Amino acid sequence: MHVVRLFAVSLTLSAVALASNGPLPLSASTDTRNAIEKADAAFVDGDRQLALALYKGSLFPTELKLAVDQESLDNDDQYRAVYYALQIWDKELNGDLPIELVDRVEDADVVVRFVDSIPERGPDALGLIQLEKSYRWSKSMHTVKCKGSISIVRSAVGGRLTFSEMRDVVMHEIGHLLGLGDIEKTGVLMGPLERGKPLSRPTVAEVEDVKSLRQTLRSKIRLAETPAP
């Protein structure tokens, strides 16, 4: 039995050239792209269980359970921001959001907490997702487990975040979970938040990139699950 632990953290990413072995969108994060490239290499080498584990670790075919740490809340808008962020992504993806909102932190794979600051990202950071993916595989089986957290600041330069700003920050971090990277362009969900200019939803291009990425992963999984001749 093999065990690998990979850590995916919200980082500022630049779009790079696509890997030649798959039609990944340019907006795919470096972590997502690296995992898929590693899975492709495992498939070519005949290690299908490792390939399946890595593909599924990016697709999340089984819903991740997400909870809000109630002890971190100091107003109702914070919970509502998480709830509506998930609702918006689910609507944009036509029900294909791989996340279920649950009540208890103890039952969750990912926990959202509202915090005063995110020291590891500096004073301008508004959100951070930290996700650990644990892969186990053998010649006949594979498992993937995910555990992590999303931190959202209560206040930043310019004062407390409004409901709309908190919702946009949560949607941004969910975009990372879905495989998108940061970009420098403003006016898009995965770009820097402009205070006082909420977006309310991901752009059409961002939604299409997530859909394309998930379709590509499903195709790769079907191929890896097809018995070798």
Task: Report yes or no: 5 and 143 within 8 Å, Cβ to Cβ.
Answer: no
Q: What is the rounded distance in angstroms from the CA atom of residue 97 to the CA atom of residue 94?
A: 8
**Residue 112 pairs with which residues in a beta bridge?**
68, 150
pLDDT for 178 equals: 97
| Architecture, CATH, for domain 2-16+25-224 | 3-Layer(aba) Sandwich (3.40)
Q: What is the pLDDT of residue 71?
A: 97
pLDDT value of position 22: 56
Taking alpha carbons only, the member of 10, 5, 42, 3 closest to residue 181 is 10
Biggest CA–CA distance in the chain, Å, is 62
Can you give the pTM of this predicted structure? 0.88
Give me the phi and psi of 8, to 5 degrees please: -110, 120
pLDDT in 10s for each residue of the chain, 229 residues: 444 434 333 222 222 222 334 578 989 999 999 999 999 999 999 999 999 999 999 999 888 999 999 999 999 999 999 999 999 999 999 999 999 999 999 999 999 999 999 988 888 899 999 999 999 999 999 999 999 999 999 998 879 999 999 999 999 999 999 999 999 999 999 999 998 898 999 999 999 999 999 999 999 999 999 987 7
Domain ranges of the chain: 2-16+25-224
pLDDT of 21 reads 44
Per-residue CA distances from 37 to 21, 24, 50, 54, 129 (Å): 8, 10, 12, 9, 22
Tell me how far apart the alpha carbons of residues 217 and 222 are, in angstroms, rounded to a whole number: 9
Which residue in 129, 139, 111 sits closest to 53, CA to CA?
139
125: how many CB neighbours lie within 10 A of its CB?
Answer: 17
Predicted local distance difference test score (pLDDT) of residue 61: 84
